[in-house]
């Protein structure tokens, strides 16, 4: 790891989201920060996901995902959905589905329901682009959680290379 490169990248401002995926009856959800809007018309979001993640296989087959926005008092929800896929993370959480079948969390600040339009390999992740087919602002008064405020919750500092020049790929 490189503490200084990790510190630098902490200056990029991101939120914290629970990404829901579905392929028929198979569902899963995981915590992510690498989400942003990429187009106004059509309304598109991009998500960068590790293709070794169990949820990526579900997303790739089902071609739908949801983006559930967490609020600043939902650090425990972020930690819960940051667990490995075997933990049956959705079993203890209230959720429903909408147009796409991807899980929509009842207690999110807001959610976006998306169909996959494109996938692009991007280094050790895959950039997934989705069209927002529906969305809901559930708690207008909540302040969204910032990824920076989660500190070392996800251990990401260990994932940065030591220098800019020495990427292994």
Q: What is the contact surface with a copy of itself in residues (CB under 8 A)?
A: 4-5, 7-9, 11-16, 34-46, 48, 67, 69, 109-110, 112, 118, 120, 122-125, 127, 129, 131-137, 140, 144-148, 156, 159-161, 164-165, 167-169
Nearer Cβ to a copy of itself (92/168): 168
> Whose Cβ is closer to a copy of itself: residue 34's or residue 81's?
34
Tokens of 15: 């939120």
Spell out the residues 6+ positions from residue 107 whose beta carbon is closer than 8 angstroms to its own: 74, 77, 93, 94, 138
If the CB atoms of residues 36 and 54 are measured against a copy of itself, the closer one turns out to be 36
Q: Which residues contact 42 (CB under 8 A, 6 or more apart)?
A: 131, 132
d(CA 7, CA 157): 8
Smallest distance, Å, CB 14 to a copy of itself?
6
Minimum distance from residue 126 beta carbon to a copy of itself (Å)? 9
Residue 119 CB, shortest distance to a copy of itself, in Å, is 10
Spatial contact of 160 and 2, defined as CB atoms under 8 Å apart: yes
Shortest reach from residue 111's CB to a copy of itself, in Å = 9
- Minimum distance of a copy of itself from residue 33's CB (angstroms): 8
C-beta of residue 51 within 8 angstroms of C-beta of residue 30: no
Report which secondary-structure segment, H or E, holds 5.
Answer: helix 3-9
**What is d(CA 105, CA 69) in angstroms, rounded to the nearest whole number?**
9
87 vs 162 by CB, closer to a copy of itself = 162
């Amino acid at each position: 790891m490189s503490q200084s490169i990790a510190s630098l990248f902490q200056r990029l401002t991101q939120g914290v989201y629970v990404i829901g995926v579905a392929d028929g009856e198979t569902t899963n959800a995981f915590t992510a920060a690498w989400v942003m809007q990429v187009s106004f018309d059509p309304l598109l979001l991009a998500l960068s996901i590790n293709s070794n993640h169990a949820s990526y296989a579900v997303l790739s087959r089902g071609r739908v995902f949801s983006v559930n926005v967490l609020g600043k008092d939902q650090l425990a929800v972020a930690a819960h959905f940051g667990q490995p896929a075997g933990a049956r993370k959705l079993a203890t959480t209230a959720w429903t589905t909408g147009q796409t079948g991807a899980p929509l969390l009842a207690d999110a600040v807001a959610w976006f329901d998306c169909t996959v339009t494109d996938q692009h390999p991007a280094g050790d992740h895959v950039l997934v682009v989705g069209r927002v087919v529906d969305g809901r602002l559930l708690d207008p008064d909540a302040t969204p959680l910032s990824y920076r405020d989660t500190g070392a919750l996800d251990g990401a500092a260990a994932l940065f290379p030591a220098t800019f020049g020495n990427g292994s790929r």
